Amino acid sequence: MSVDAETVEIDPAECSADLVAVGMFEDEAIPTLATGAPGSRDASGKKGSAVVLYPSEDRRVVVVGLGRREDFGVEEARVAGATSQEALVGVNGGSLAFVLPDEGPAPRVAAALVEGAILSSFDFDHFREGEGRLEKIEILAPVDDETDSAIRFSRVCSNAANRARHLQSLPANFATPEFLADRAREIAGAHPAVEVEVLDREQIIAAGMGGLAAVSSGGREVEPRLITLKYTGRGSGEVLGLIGKSVTFDTGGISIKPSADMHEMKMDMSGGAAVLEAVAAIAELELELDLIAVLPATENVPSGTALKPGDVITQLNGKTVEVTNTDAEGRLILADALVHCARQGADRLVDIATLTGAVLVGLGSTYAALISDDDDLAAEVTAAAEETGELVWRLPLHEEYFELTKGEITDLVNASPQRKAGTIYAGSFLEQFTEGRPWAHLDIAGTAWGTGRAYWGKGPTGFGTRLLVELARRQAS
């Protein structure tokens, strides 16, 4: 499942990989590796194009179009990595080598090729035989430390993102809260710097996590879990808090969703999956920082014991909430998780959640929404996002949005009767639970699944996994 990647200092003509990918810019010459091969004139350099050629009996080359040289950057390299990997699938190969394009910063371009190839090789083959089998990537370039460590970083992050995508894809009868807890225990077992704590329903209730208790009250067979992971990579300094929405299935509860696309709500734990696998990657990379990750994990299902519209609950910080819509469940469990994360010692909070359908309307599948009460943290998250290509766009907070979240009989209501600024409303709600810590919220309901981007395809994206590791890396350095 995990793909290997390294730099190898050999002549591309001597490379024994199943497929050697070489880039070609638009309106430029055919790369020497391919010149003279039958059909080489079909290679165009057009962005997204790929022509497989056989310069000799035992060698296979794919000429990948990189578009115009002046437009070429890291994202284009990611796409080229993906295109090459698709070509590898086409020839049924397992090992892929890249000739580094002579454009852009070598370490970053090399890392992006690796990312694009690994990410595009994701195939959810849990319930049928798989199609791709990318096992090994070689970057054909002079070995140097900077390129080596960039490749290692992107390899670890991309494999982690693929594991998050696997979790996203697993249906609710497999990826239960306890299943996520088991994965957390597995991560802690593999890395001495990681500790795990898992609370069950009774403990969640006893702790005063009224939001998580309420949302999980409908499901009596599938038990909720509050999963906390602590990573000590430094032992001092600022503690980063990561919180991931982990609703393993969202029916809407008593405010039930229409049945048409309801099956898609198995991915309502995408934020938790990203956090979980980001922590695994951070531990694998031994990044020098401390962090606390919290996953509130539950189903949101209707039953005789379920939370009802109009019910009033008390969150972990004592604030009361009238639950006017049981389908606005994410904010209720995140509220407790934010407070818990802060109280466990996090100095800054970043939550990630498939929180609102409204973000799809506003930003589609290209940008996730970023909402933050702290300009420095928002800038850091944005910079990390630009680095990894998991794009975010900041939405505003304002007193008037906060007004909308105020209750008549309680401190807050979880959904407004007015259909105004749904994504910001949810953000304003969450802001009441940050315990005064700098906080950033990522709404990934539009980007977690079905973006259609070259290296993500139609399915799960693992959105946020690489971004969170990059954020941690920035804090560590």
Q: Is residue 75 a contact point for Mn ion (CB under 5 A)? A: no
173, 179, 183, 189: CA torsion to nearest 10: -150
Q: Is residue 345 a contact point for ligand BES (CB under 6 A)? A: no
Q: Is residue 329 a contact point for ligand BES (CB under 6 A)? A: yes
Residues 255-314 that bind ligand BES (CB under 6 A): 268
Task: Tell me the CA distances in angstroms from 380 to 370, 390, 469, one per residue in order.
Answer: 11, 13, 12
User: Are 472 and 101 contacting, i.e. CB atoms less than 8 angstroms apart?
Assistant: no
Residues 302-341 that bind Mn ion (CB under 5 A): 327, 329
Binding string, 170-209, against Mn ion, x = CB under 5 A? ----------------------------------------
- In the numeric block, which tokens belong to residue 439? 């906080």
Establish how many alpha carbons lie within 13 A of residue 93's alpha carbon, considering only the half-sphere containing its beta carbon.
24
Structure-token match 């319930």, residue found:
127
Q: Is residue 395 a contact point for ligand BES (CB under 6 A)? A: no
CB of 329 to ligand BES, least distance (A): 5
Binding string, 356-385, against ligand BES, x = CB under 6 A? xxx---------------------------
CB of 15 to Zn ion, least distance (A): 47
Residue with the shortest CB distance to Mn ion:
327
Q: How many residues does the chain have?
A: 477
Residues serving a catalytic function are 257, 331
Select from 55-63, 87-95, 195-203, 353-361 the region that touches ligand BES (CB under 6 A).
Answer: 353-361
Q: Contacting ligand BES (CB under 6 A), which of 83, 147, 159, 354?
A: 354
264, 266, 270, 272: CA torsion to nearest 10: 160
Separation of alpha carbons 8 and 95, rounded Å: 13
Separation of alpha carbons 303 and 219, rounded Å: 7
Q: Is residue 250 a contact point for ligand BES (CB under 6 A)? A: yes
Q: Which is nearer to ligand BES, 354 or 382 (CB)?
A: 354
CB of 255 to Zn ion, least distance (A): 11
Residues 258-297 that bind Zn ion (CB under 5 A): 268
Binding string, 218-257, against Zn ion, x = CB under 5 A? -----------------------------x--x-------
CB of 327 to Mn ion, least distance (A): 4
Q: Is residue 330 a contact point for Zn ion (CB under 5 A)? A: yes
Would you tell me which residues interact with Mn ion (CB under 5 A)? Answer: 250, 327, 329
Would you tell me which residues interact with Zn ion (CB under 5 A)? Answer: 247, 250, 268, 330
Would you tell me which residues interact with ligand BES (CB under 6 A)? Answer: 250, 268, 325, 327-330, 354-358, 415, 422, 445
